[in-house]
Amino acid sequence: MEMIMESLSKTYKSSIEKKLVLNNISCHVNKGEWINIIGPSGSGKTTLLKCVAGIMNADAGSKVSIGGLDMGNASEEEKRDFRRRNIGYIFQEYELFSAYTAKQNVMLPEWPYKKEAELRERSETLLRTLGLEDRIDAVPTNLSGGEKQRVAIARALLNDPSLLICDEPTGNLDRASRDNVLHILKECQAEGRTIFFVTHDYDVLPYGDRVFQLKDGTMEEINKKSFILQP
């Protein structure tokens, strides 16, 4: 799914301050590309992902277009429907519902729209693929951080999204689980999906096609090779 950001700015406004977090960012992502975003804590990575997904409104004058949908002009309902059909979003804080099991959390976004038996089978398959076969019926309070992260990843994959937006999806995983998740995402990319991936982990960078760095409100492309350690 093609993504176009032009002059994208975002200001947080409160009664005591106005904070410009993203300042005139432009970036064009081709269908099927894997883009990695790095940047210091607080540089606006999560803000950028939320503006791109239409979860948060960018400032007036910004242009964000995803798969032809103009986020600035779409209604909340259009954006919600578009996300459900096309975007898998892996939240940094997992955003799991504590009253539901791992399997139910994965099924939840499609519950009103698809047959329950079909959803149950699909979510169990995804949880098994992510190494959670023993935790399918556990509630989030009984899951470790890494397990919760993998449930959140399974949920994002449920609708076979054309675009995966990933906010540090491997931050709480050990090396083996991280490599498993990256391998699964690489397969998703091979199937033609676009991946927009925020990370602090430089070991993730070789998996992507291009790297952008967010700093002081601006975003610039960095040569991916500059992160590969020389012997």
The site for ligand ATP (CB under 6 A) is made up of: 12, 19, 21, 39, 41-47
Q: What do you get for the CA distance between the two ends of the chain, in Å?
A: 37
| Structure tokens, 206 | 């070789």
Which CB sits closer to ligand ATP, 36 or 159? 36
Return the SS3 of 119. helix
Percent helix, strand, coil in the chain (nearest 5)?
A: 35, 25, 40
Burial 47-73 (b: 16+ CB within 10 A, else e): bbbbbbbbbeebbeebebbbbebebbe
Residue 157 CB, nearest approach to ligand ATP (Å): 22
Q: Are 219 and 50 in contact (CB under 8 A)?
A: no
Residue 171 CB, nearest approach to ligand ATP (Å): 9
Which CB sits closer to ligand ATP, 11 or 189? 11
Pairing of strands 210-215, 34-38: parallel
Which CB sits closer to ligand ATP, 55 or 184? 55
Which CB sits closer to ligand ATP, 42 or 145? 42
Residue 201 CB, nearest approach to ligand ATP (Å): 12
Residue 21 CB, nearest approach to ligand ATP (Å): 4
Which CB sits closer to ligand ATP, 92 or 189? 92
| Structure tokens, 113 | 């729209």
Tokens 């995966």 — which residue?
Answer: 164
Residue 114 CB, nearest approach to ligand ATP (Å): 32
Q: Could you write out the DSSP letters of every residue in 189-201?
A: HHTT-EEEEE-S-
Residue 28 CB, nearest approach to ligand ATP (Å): 21
Which CB sits closer to ligand ATP, 127 or 205? 205
Neighbours of 161 (CB within 10 A): 21
